[in-house]
Structure 1
Amino acid sequence: MRLAFARNSVRSSPCSRPALRDPDGPRACSPTWRAWRAAPRAGRRGARGFTLPELLAVVVLIGILAAAASPSFVNGMRDRRVNRTAMEISGIYRLARHQAMGRGSAVLVRWTASTREFEVRQARVEGLATGPMISRSCLNVVNWLDPTETELVTRFNVTGIELASVELRDPTEPDGVVHDTAEVCFTARGRTFVRYELGAAFVPLLGALRVNVTNTRTGLLRSVFVPPNGVARLGL
């Protein structure tokens, strides 16, 4: 016995998908598909790209954005140089303190505004004929520039750093006095002495001495603080 619906053959739906050669095309019954099929093949191929005016507009827009962002980029680079300078100055004072405590002899950091230079010198250790060694303190070195009494450890000059203004201020209120010359001396026991005139007597550091590093173009200020315990830190 044959079923009544067996004679009806399966017909393709008018909304079936197009042939496999274009699997991403719209369905056959879609008006968009009719318009797409009616368009010339060359026109369909050209519609997928960008026109020359559109590309020129993008190039011009990128140029405008780059020109607007370049001053900020340059100022940011200068600020980073100022930050790096302040960190190096802080590292110089830390190095001097660690050198004094580790070596067992006084170490001095001298700032000279005329040469814009930080100089680190350490006192020579004296050896007696009987064998023991004598470590000098900040108070019993007669002349820190005498190579028979002291020796150079390192120097750091800030002259070549672009737009970086460096000044040293003492701990007096309200904002400290700027000094052209300052010598900070660390002892083997971790004590900190200071003097602001060559040849003057060292006195214990009371309060936090401050070294300001300023970007003269953007006004960015970074301060290095040297407290009485000698552990220099960079201000936030």
Structure 2
Amino acid sequence: MTTPAHLPLRVGYVPGVILTKWRRIWEERFPDTPLAITPVTEPDARGALLRGDVDACFVRLPLDVDGLHLIRLYDEQPVVWVAKEHAIAAVDEVTLEDLLDEEVLTEVTAVNIDRVVAEVAVLRVPLSVARGESRRDMVHRPVVDAPPTTVGLAWLKDADDVLIQELVGIVRGRSVNSSRTARERETRTTDPTAQKQPQPQKQGQNQKQKQGAQQPRKSGPTPKRGAKPKPKSGRSGR
């Protein structure tokens, strides 16, 4: 595992990914190593990694993972995003069959949003994307039988370093006390003071040992129980 090539750690994310919780945890654990957060578009997420624009990126699958590490994080609910006056806005949910007569777009761009507002097309996007835009002239409805999308964290196989592994631990929910991060393992092997120290003995145990040391055992054999004492040597008077 290599040492970090860049400080701060540069992290990209696609639309709809909320980094607030993970960023807060990072700042608590590593206040001296900031995160540089960079928004990227979904089509350019892989390119941002390959060009070295970011060290790691929160991506949306499917993604070409050749040359990349990837961990899956969570699934997202698909919705259809339509103009407020569109017929779909009057129902609570839709199916894929309900969208057969619609021009369905999947990339959120200014041009595509204008087409949706004009009721020329609809957008099928993850719920987090529609919520993130928060447009008053558009509404979203769940597509109940559409497959979910998946958000993951990706980084280059050739750029696997300590800081990225720390970020992986955070997004996986790894706590400081319950796990050994890469940095903790490195500290254990390089810092001699991190080795386990002998525990002090209890006070009562020390006193017993001192008392035992002050009372030496008597020399000589111990007489057997019930044995008669030997008579004293010398003549006996008559």
How high is the TM-score relative to the length of structure 2? 0.21
Q: Compare the two structures and name the one with the higher strand fraction.
A: 1
Q: Which is bigger in relative contact order (C-alpha 8 A, separation at least 6)?
A: 2
How high is the TM-score relative to the length of structure 1? 0.21
